[in-house]
Structure 1
Amino acid sequence: MSRMVEADVLVVGGGGAGCSAALHLAKRGARVVLLERGLVGGQASGVNHGGVRQQGRNPAELPLARRSRAIWARMADLIGTDAEFDPSGHLKLARSAAEEAELLRWNAIAEQHGLRPRMVGRNAIRAEHPWLGEQVIAGSLLEEDGSANPRLLAPALAAAARKAGATILEGHAVAEMAHDGTRFRVTANDTGFVAPVLLNCAGFWGAAVAARFGERAPIEALHPNMLVTEPLPHFCRLNIGVVGGDVYLRQISRGNVILGGGRGEGDPAVPMSRPRPDSGAAAMEKAVRLIPRLADALIIRSWTGIDGLTPDVLPVMGPSRTTPGLFHAFGFSGHGFMLGPAVGEVLSELVLDGHSDVPLDAFDIGRFAPRADAATGRGTE
C-alpha cells in the first residue's frame, strides 16, 4: 500500500445516489472520498430510460420521490445543468379493465401524498392522443413528471461535488474493506482510505458490500433492454408507461423515440452486459400495439447495463443493522434514476444530522434477515 488517505466519509459507487451524497456532504463541509470502479454513471444511473416519474411508484417510495422531484426543479442551480429535464408529464396507460382499475387505485393513494394525477377515460384518451392504438382504453396523467438525460446526471453531480471539495476517484475498484471497531479501512488501487463513515451506493454490487459486514440482501442482476429509433416526425412530448411496466417510451427533441422493455444479459463479475435482440423485438411489438405509427420505425441502437433487483422491488436504504457508521443505498430495481438526487441528500442528513424526515422503514436491510418462527423457533425467510 503506497499511501493512506483520511476522510470523514467514504462513498463506494459513483451512480446518481453516490455522487449526490458526495455533493451534499461536501457542501456541508465534510471531507468526502468517492470510489468508483469504472466511470461515474457508467451502470444503472447512465443506461436507463431517463424517466423522472412519481407516477405508478410503490407508495413507500412516494415521500422520497416527492423530495427528489423538488430537487429536479432546481437542478440547474444545484449542479449547473438540468440534465435536459423536461417536465412533460407522464401518461400511464391501461390496456384492460383490470389495468384501468389499478390506475384508479393508485391515483387514490397518490392524492394522499399531495399528487394530482388526472384520469383520462375511454372516451377522452384517444380524443386527446389520437396516435394511440385501439389496445389502449384509459390512462392516468401526472403532469409534473417527465424525463431527463441519464448520461448527463451523474457526471454533472460528480463535477459539482468536486467543485464543493469532494474527491471523486474513477477507475478505483475496491479490493479490501473492513471495520476495525472505530473506522472503515478500504483499499483501492494500492491506496488505503480511512473514515468513520461508509456509504454503500454500489448498485447491484451493494449486496456484496453489505455481506462483508454480515448483512444479507438478496439481489439479482437486472439488465434493462433499451432501444432508440431513427428521428421521426414529432407526435408526443409525454413520457409513456403502461400498467405492469413491460414497455415504456418517450420521444426526444431530435425526434428519436427511446423505448425499453424486457431484459438484456450480462455478467456482473466482469462487469459486462449486452442487449438481447429477442427482448428488443418483443418490446418493439408492444410499442407498436400502443402506437401503430412506430411500425415502420428503424431501430438504430440498443444497449443495457447492470442494476440490482430486490425480491420486493424496493431499494435497500438506511443505516446498517450490524456496523455503526455504515449506510446503504442500493438495489433500486430499475427505477432509481429519478430518486438519486434525493437519496444523496437523505444520506447526507443521516450522516450529519442523525435523521431524515423521509420515511425509510420500508427500505431497511433488516427486512431480509432470517427471523425466528414464533411456533417452531426455526429460522424463516
Structure 2
Amino acid sequence: MPGPRPVPVRGDADLPGAVDVVIIGGGIIGCATALELAEAGQRVAICEKGGIAQEQSSRNWGWVRISRRDPREVPLMAASMRLWRDLDKRIGRETGYVQSGICFICEDEATFANYDRWKDHLVPYQMQARMLRPAELQQLFPGATIRGVGALHTPEDGRAEPQTATPAIAEAARDKGAHILTECAVRSVETQGGRVCGVVTERGRIGCSAVVVAGGAWSNLFLGNMGLDLPALGVVNHVLRTGPVEGGPEQAIWTSGYAFRKRADGGYTIAQGSGNTVEIVPDSFRYARRFLPALRMDYRELHFRLSGRFLHEARRARSWGPDDVTPFERERVLDPAPSPRMLKALMSNVSAEHPAFRAATVAQEWAGCIDVTPDAIPVISAVGSVPGLHIASGFSGHGFGIGPGAGGLMADIVLGRSPRVDPHEFRFSRFTDGSRIAPQTGY
C-alpha cells in the first residue's frame, strides 16, 4: 500500500458466534465506538474489510481542532477535545496528542471579521480564541513572510499521529474484550421481525442485536444494498510528509495555499488548505441536486477530475446477497492517486513563506478519500426503519479530531443512555424529513 503505514493491528483468528454490537469499519470512528461500548461491558466485534486505519484514519492531517468548525459540530468537538487530553492515560498507549495551537490565516478583512464572529461559538466552553494581526503572527512564526491581514488563533487546538492513534484505540478496545476482525468484510445485515439479529461476513455469521455502520467512504455503498440512502460523495485530499525540519514551527497553520502541522518525528505533514479533488463518478450525477448548496459555497476550492474511477464504480456491483463476493472484498483499501502537480505547488507555496522548509526533503506522498455529506456534517444516528441499525459516517474530513467524542456519542445512542451532547443535528432522518440541507460554516 503506497499510502501511510499505520501501526499494524493483528486480527483475531477466530470469529465470535455472537456479540452485542458489530461495528462495520476499523477507522477511528468505529474503534472509538468500540472502546466506549467495551468499557460499558458490551461484547463488541469490529469487522474491517482491510486493516485497521488503512484508509482516511491514517491519511488525514492529524489535526485535533475546534477552530472553524461548523457551529453544529462545536459541542461535540468540545467534548472530544476533553477526551483527547486524557486519552493516552486512559488507553495506556501513545497517540501522539499535543496541544500546540492552530492559526487560520485571513487573506482579507472580510474573512478576518467572519473568523472574529465565529470565535463566539467557543464562549460556552471556556476555550480561548484570539484574532491576531500580522505583528503578533510574526511572533508565532519568526522569519516567515505570511501573506494576510491576520489570523484566528486557537491555542487549545492540537495534533495527534493518525498512523498510531487509531491502532492504539483499537488495541485498547481489545484490552476491554472487543474482537478485532481484519480482512473480514461484512456482506449483509440480518433481521428478524424487522430488528437486527446478526451479520454475515465473508468468514461466517455473527449474531448481534445492534450494528454500527462506520465505513467512511464505503458506507453509502453498503447501506444502499439495504435499501437505505446515505447521500455522500468522495473528495480526495493530497498530502505529503517531510523529513525532520530544523527550526520548524510548533504551531499548525492553514492558508488557502497550504496547511501544515509538526509530526512527532520532527517532520511535517503538509496538505492543501483548499483545492480538494472531486472524482466524477456515477453518484456525482445521482446526488448533483443535493450537493448544489455546498457547491455554490465552495466551487472555487474544488478541482473536478474524470479518471478511471468513473468506470470502476460504474461496473461495481450495487446489490448482492450474503453468499456473494462483495465490492469490499475486491477492493480492500481505497488508495487514490495523489496529484504530483498539486504536491509540487504545495511545497513551493510553503517554502516561499517559511524559510525553514526550503531544505526540507519529501519523505512520502499520498492521497485519501473523504466521505462528504451535502451539509458537511456527519450522521451519528439510529436508523428508525431498522431497529438495532446505526450509522456513524459522513464526517466530511472532520472525523479524526472529533473521533473520540463521536464514538462516545454513538455508544450513548446504541446503549440508550443520556447523550453527552444533543444528537439532533446528526440524525439520519434529516435527509428525508424536509430539513434544509446545506453547510452552515460561512467562515
Q: Choose the corresponding residue for 2:95, options 83, 86, 95.
A: 83
**Structure 2 CA distance for aligned equivalents of residues 199 and 183 of structure 1:** 11
**Structure 1 CA distance for aligned equivalents of residues 355 and 182 of structure 2:** 44
Residue 238 of structure 2 is matched in structure 1 by: 225
Q: Rate the CA distance shift 1:43–1:372 in 2: closer, same or farther, 3 A.
A: closer
Residue 378 of structure 1 is matched in structure 2 by: none
Q: CA deviation at 1:176?
A: 2.4
Q: Does 1:340 align with 2:403?
A: yes
Residue 228 of structure 2 is matched in structure 1 by: 215
Question: Contact 2:96/2:165 (CA < 8 Å) preserved in 1?
Answer: no
* Alignment of structure 1 residues 318-337 onto 2, 5 Å: 318-337=381-400
Residue 5 of structure 1 is matched in structure 2 by: 17
**Structure 2 CA distance for aligned equivalents of residues 317 and 219 of structure 1:** 14
Q: Does 1:192 align with 2:255?
A: no
CA-to-partner distance for each residue in 1:235-275, whole Å, 9 max, x for gaps?
31011123x6x631012354322101144676786333221
Residue 369 of structure 1 is matched in structure 2 by: 432
Q: CA deviation at 1:113?
A: 4.0
Given residue 412 of structure 2, which amino acid in structure 1 is its aligned partner?
E
**Structure 1 CA distance for aligned equivalents of residues 202 and 179 of structure 2:** 15
* Alignment of structure 1 residues 253-264 onto 2, 5 Å: 253-261=264-272, 262-263=275-276
Given residue 234 of structure 1, which amino acid in structure 2 is its aligned partner?
G
Q: Does 1:356 align with 2:419?
A: yes
**Structure 2 CA distance for aligned equivalents of residues 294 and 142 of structure 1:** 23
Greater displacement, 98-107 / 11-20: 98-107
Given residue 259 of structure 1, which amino acid in structure 2 is its aligned partner?
I
Residue 260 of structure 2 is matched in structure 1 by: 249
Question: Contact 2:240/2:366 (CA < 8 Å) preserved in 1?
Answer: yes
Question: Contact 1:43/1:307 (CA < 8 Å) preserved in 2?
Answer: no
Counting matched residue pairs gives: 370
Question: Contact 2:161/2:264 (CA < 8 Å) preserved in 1?
Answer: no
**Structure 2 CA distance for aligned equivalents of residues 329 and 253 of structure 1:** 29
**Structure 2 CA distance for aligned equivalents of residues 355 and 215 of structure 1:** 27
Given residue 51 of structure 1, which amino acid in structure 2 is its aligned partner?
W
Question: Contact 1:215/1:365 (CA < 8 Å) preserved in 2?
Answer: no
SS at match of 1:193: strand
Q: CA deviation at 1:111?
A: 2.1
Q: Does 1:57 align with 2:69?
A: yes
Question: Contact 2:15/2:181 (CA < 8 Å) preserved in 1?
Answer: no
Greater displacement, 279-288 / 19-28: 279-288
Q: Does 1:92 align with 2:113?
A: no
Residue 52 of structure 2 is matched in structure 1 by: 40
**Structure 2 CA distance for aligned equivalents of residues 116 and 354 of structure 1:** 31
Question: Contact 1:33/1:169 (CA < 8 Å) preserved in 2?
Answer: yes
Unaligned stretches of 5+ in structure 2?
1-13, 280-308, 314-326, 437-443
Q: CA deviation at 1:336?
A: 0.7
Q: Does 1:101 align with 2:113?
A: yes
**Structure 1 CA distance for aligned equivalents of residues 173 and 15 of structure 2:** 23
Residue 297 of structure 2 is matched in structure 1 by: none
Q: Rate the CA distance shift 1:372–1:232 in 2: closer, same or farther, 3 A.
A: closer
Given residue 154 of structure 1, which amino acid in structure 2 is its aligned partner?
T
**Structure 1 CA distance for aligned equivalents of residues 345 and 384 of structure 2:** 42
TM-score of the aligned structures, taking structure 1 as reference length: 0.89
Residue 115 of structure 1 is matched in structure 2 by: 127
SS at match of 1:272: coil
Question: Contact 1:250/1:258 (CA < 8 Å) preserved in 2?
Answer: yes
Greater displacement, 278-287 / 143-152: 278-287
Q: Rate the CA distance shift 1:285–1:314 in 2: closer, same or farther, 3 A.
A: farther
Query: For the aligned residues, what is the CA RMSD?
Result: 2.4
Q: CA deviation at 1:355?
A: 3.7
Identity of aligned residues (%): 28
Greater displacement, 364-373 / 306-315: 364-373
Question: Contact 2:210/2:388 (CA < 8 Å) preserved in 1?
Answer: yes
**Structure 1 CA distance for aligned equivalents of residues 360 and 420 of structure 2:** 46
Q: Rate the CA distance shift 1:258–1:19 in 2: closer, same or farther, 3 A.
A: same
TM-score of the aligned structures, taking structure 2 as reference length: 0.78
Question: Contact 1:234/1:255 (CA < 8 Å) preserved in 2?
Answer: no
Question: Contact 1:132/1:292 (CA < 8 Å) preserved in 2?
Answer: yes
Q: CA deviation at 1:89?
A: 1.0
Question: Contact 2:144/2:354 (CA < 8 Å) preserved in 1?
Answer: yes
Residue 377 of structure 1 is matched in structure 2 by: none
**Structure 1 CA distance for aligned equivalents of residues 163 and 264 of structure 2:** 16
CA-to-partner distance for each residue in 1:124-169, whole Å, 9 max, x for gaps?
2224433332413211211111101001111111111111011110
Q: CA deviation at 1:16?
A: 0.8
Unaligned stretches of 5+ in structure 1?
374-381
CA-to-partner distance for each residue in 1:208-246, whole Å, 9 max, x for gaps?
23334433221111222111223221231011123x6x6
Q: CA deviation at 1:295?
A: 4.3
**Structure 1 CA distance for aligned equivalents of residues 415 and 39 of structure 2:** 12
**Structure 1 CA distance for aligned equivalents of residues 77 and 189 of structure 2:** 31
Question: Contact 1:274/1:303 (CA < 8 Å) preserved in 2?
Answer: yes
